[in-house]
Structure 1
């Protein structure tokens, strides 16, 4: 469950200073949104994926539904709202760094009733993922239904914001980046194992069961049950870091076993997948297939 955005990518050498006017080098558009990216990442791993979300009655909405359908994702639970489809403006610098401005649009109109109508789909799932780009009450209801049916719940707490701990307690996995972790626990998080462990323990006090913290080019940190450690990144030349974290989460969800017996190999596979994503421009178009990750491994 999550967001569907049409991304407009503005390619530039560097971000403008306040009050500065600059020329952009090129302008491109692509399907995106955290929800769509994570769903496609899972689908391209071979998972069977259904999507709960909303679009507007407009060309962008039809474009987003078709983009998911083209990836063999079930779009029957995507509803139409009387506001425009979500969109994002991505300011992409020459070194691959990005700054993103998001318009929620129809994404922010997903209701508890929309989620309730999809109970059968949730009940049949192995896992459900959601983020903060749709309303929190809808996310809570989705995870309540999931727990009722013993479905794994994965919360990507992005974009960063402080929330009631109720949703955290319903989450089997919480997957922030370092900035999002800082906001959730209201304390600094450094890129070292002691600081990351402290962050995971602070999240545990809020009710979080298992934590995965993504750290960009520094890799990722996990604390799952009584196990913890660092997963290194794969060193590549980044073209566009958009959707790297979404790829990691979608790939993780598609491959992790219910008993978590393949935890570390899955995290390494997710990290490799993300390294392929950042080598291409765009969000959804850059996400690799299982075969592409497998070929890179060889």
Structure 2
């Protein structure tokens, strides 16, 4: 059986993680418990999640000409992600996310760095890779015009697209209507549906594309009426990357031919497992681990 081919176009970051009992208020200084550097970025996280499960994953993105860039390329290659199409940008820093962890929750500041150089031209150069994919997985940590270009190329070659609309921003309605699946959280869904540039029929189309993530509670689907899919209760250590784990697992399962509801159930389990360890990518399970977890629940 051939591996599903998933192309991820998106961000590659180094996460700079500070763990503390108290998140400081404006103007306040507090003592932290520990500090880590951990590979991250929504694009890279989703690529690792799919690769760990057994997909053939190609990453399209950019890193800077610095120590973080070299480290991330080596790390992602070791995780089974093809990095042949990731460009190193001279005299540019690799993207970073400054993350503060406190009591199992997080706050994040992102600096795009080399991710800004994932231009529409870069995406066009990889049309042949998009054309050979089972699914293209996208987020919004690279320029919006590049996301639009990727969707147009995927539609041209009849390749399914999953768009994770995070960090949320105003999106052209043509983009939203062209993707196959959208994976917002509840806040992002509200922004997607509170538009005055769409007809009622178009808003219904958008809602039916939505797979709304509700954290540990589960997900809500709107195809053929509302369907709530229960999540899994686990002891959370670090919620960073849970949504990315869900998206990578969803792409993997759909690419393997599973139905949407079944794919969401599987993605829920993968996301639940991912929060039981520190670091966005460290907790992402293998297919065997995910199947064993599901079998015990």
How many residues of Structure 1 are paired with residues of Structure 2 in the alignment?
282
Partner SS, residue 60 of structure 1: helix
2:122 corresponds to which of 114, 129, 154: 114
Provide the alpha-carbon RMSD of the alignment: 1.8
Question: Which residues of structure 1 form unaligned runs of 5+?
Answer: 188-200
Partner SS, residue 266 of structure 2: helix
Shift of 1:227: 4.8
Alignment partner of 1:97 is 2:95: no
Q: Is the 8 A contact 1:2 1:107 kept in 2?
A: yes
Q: Partners in 1 of 2:28 and 2:260 — Cα distance? A: 47
Q: State the 4+ residue runs in structure 1 displaced beyond 2 angstroms.
A: 182-187, 201-209
Q: Is the 8 A contact 2:273 2:284 kept in 1?
A: yes
Shift of 1:184: 2.3
Partner SS, residue 285 of structure 1: coil
Q: Partners in 2 of 1:14 and 1:35 — Cα distance? A: 29
2:136 corresponds to which of 113, 128, 132: 128
CA deviations on 1:30-79 (whole Å, 9 max, x unpaired) are 10000001011111111101011011111111111112111221111111
Shift of 1:103: 0.5
Distance 1:92 1:293, change over 3 A: same
Q: Partners in 1 of 2:182 and 2:52 — Cα distance? A: 22
2:248 corresponds to which of 245, 250, 275: 250
CA deviations on 1:200-258 (whole Å, 9 max, x unpaired) are x897357565110101122111123x253111111111111000000001000011158
Distance 1:203 1:282, change over 3 A: farther
Partner SS, residue 85 of structure 2: strand
Q: Partners in 2 of 1:49 and 1:257 — Cα distance? A: 12
Q: Partners in 1 of 2:202 and 2:166 — Cα distance? A: 15
Q: Is the 8 A contact 1:171 1:208 kept in 2?
A: no
Once the two structures are superposed, the pairs formed by residues 179-194 of structure 1 within 5 Å of their partners are: 179-186=187-194
Shift of 1:81: 1.8
Alignment partner of 1:177 is 2:175: no
Q: Partners in 2 of 1:93 and 1:202 — Cα distance? A: 43
Shift of 1:291: 1.2
Match of 2:289 in 1: 292
Q: Is the 8 A contact 1:172 1:208 kept in 2?
A: no
Match of 2:55 in 1: 47
Partner SS, residue 281 of structure 1: coil
1:87 corresponds to which of 82, 93, 96: 96
Distance 1:257 1:105, change over 3 A: closer
Partner SS, residue 56 of structure 2: coil
Q: Partners in 1 of 2:243 and 2:213 — Cα distance? A: 7
Alignment partner of 1:204 is 2:203: yes
Q: Partners in 2 of 1:228 and 1:51 — Cα distance? A: 34
Q: Partners in 1 of 2:225 and 2:193 — Cα distance? A: 21
Shift of 1:182: 2.2
Q: Partners in 2 of 1:159 and 1:202 — Cα distance? A: 26
